[in-house]
Amino acid sequence: MDNSKKIYETENFIVEAHGKPFITRTEGGHIRIRIKDLSITDRTKIEPKVAIELARLTMIVGKAFEIAMNNRGIEVVKINYQDMGNWAYKKNELPYLHIHVFGRAKNSLKQPFPESVYLPDRKTGFYDNFESLNDEDITEIQKQIGIVEREDKYNVENWHL
């Protein structure tokens, strides 16, 4: 993989600050939620309980990410979620299930909001100088995940987990 930093972990997934972000931290940042079993190529290959875990996790992470980045002074107004994996084929590899979670900040220049995220090939240089989330961002996201996951809405019993 890349130099991603782990933020959080569940039974089947790892949440990490993407080491080669598609959105630089000052424009909202980029988190990846990836399945631990890298042989699972997409969401159609997971069992219902794992799908429920993934849905709950994306909601918790998205909410915590938005709050955390705003607390860190990055004015995130929207969270985008993308499920892709196409670029693995460029390396003759199979993709693994992962969800990109993008913070979308007001006044962004390289990835302007409310436009769709622009994802050119890495070889174009578009992402040069994009910054990953830093340790302070990660600490704040972890703090917010701890708060959000305690909300009644996210209680594991309500999700039948």
Average pLDDT over residues 34-58: 97
In-domain check, residue 70: yes
Read off the CATH number of the domain in which 82 is found: 3.30.428.10
In-domain check, residue 138: yes
- Which residue has better confidence, 69 or 161? 69
Residue 16: domain span? 5-115+128-149
**pLDDT tens-place string over residues 108-136:** 999 999 999 999 999 999 999 999 999 99
In-domain check, residue 83: yes
- Total domains in the fold of the chain: 1
In-domain check, residue 42: yes
Beta strands in the chain (DSSP E): 5-9, 13-17, 30-35, 76-83, 98-105
